[in-house]
Structure 1
Amino acid sequence: MTDKPIGAIEWRDLTVDDADSVKDFYAQVVGWNTGSVSMGDYDDYTMSLPGSGETIAGVCHARGSNAGLPPQWMMYVRVADADASANRVLELGGEIIQGPRTMAGDIYYMIKDPAGAVLSIFSSTG
């Protein structure tokens, strides 16, 4: 992910049981190009814009760290301090679904707001 301002939506992932067929669905419906990302014993996928090739989303199997997630588009929003924002979630009646997790120098939390909507927040660890 690139460094964007606090509050920016930096990434989107779709988590589904069968990412293989669903990535093809989106490629045919909206024209995205696909690329594979090895997750060990299976592949998840990147989705990129035709023409520029800019990668804008992922389509992921509901396995590994995504096991048990319902089919959904997940947005990832940059915050100043993921730990502090996670504490604020709890203070305001939300829920931490997963986290903290670290990946590529960032710390992540998957949260649920008081209405039940799900979002991921993250910040740099260093």
Structure 2
Amino acid sequence: MAHETLAAWLDIAVVDAERSRAFYTEILGVSTSAIPMSDEQGSYNDHCLHAVKDGPALAGVCHRRGLNSAVPAAWIPYFRVASLDAAVARAVVLGAAVIDGPRDCAGTHIAIVRDLDGAVFGLVGA
């Protein structure tokens, strides 16, 4: 199983995603694309970061609201697993805490977990 578990994504959830998008665009020299979102407060955009314009999305800069309201404001690595539900259940048995999910996110099934030392990471179902 370990050889199938790969880093799949990075993202950060912040209070002001527009400010963070501008910051990371300047620092990293990347381009961005908007992801339309909405919650009970209205519509807004989260953002994908791209190494090259119109290239594959490499990371996300998200508002810490709506679906991401429980997500900590830190860069979170996501790891691909064969079975999200099995991986989350096993993490809990081993002493981890589920922060968010499992839930659907942009056509992907994800969960965010805090490990035994407090480190936060995401799991993505294959």
Please indicate the TM-score interval, normalised by the length of the shorter structure. Answer: 0.7 to 0.9
For normalisation by structure 1, the TM-score amounts to: 0.86
For normalisation by structure 2, the TM-score amounts to: 0.86
Q: Alignment length, in residue pairs? A: 120
- Give a deviation string over 1:43-66, Cα, whole Å, max 9, x none: 001110136733211100001111
What RMSD over aligned residues (CA atoms) do the two structures have, in Å? 1.8
Corresponding residue for residue 77 of structure 1: 79
Alpha carbons of structure 1 residues 65 and 7: separation in structure 2 relative to 1, 3 Å: same
Which sections of structure 2, spanning at least 5 residues, go unmatched?
none
Corresponding residue for residue 47 of structure 2: 45
1:59 aligns with 2:61: yes
What is the 5 A alignment of 1:19-38? Answer: 19-38=17-36
* Percentage identity across paired residues of the two chains: 35
Distance 2:28 2:5 in 1: 26
Q: Secondary structure at the match of 1:42?
A: strand
Contact 1:34 1:48 (C-alpha < 8 Å) held by counterparts: yes
Instruction: Kindly state the Cα deviation for residue 105 of structure 1 after the two structures are TM-superposed.
Output: 5.1
Contact 1:31 1:50 (C-alpha < 8 Å) held by counterparts: no
Which sections of structure 1, spanning at least 5 residues, go unmatched?
none
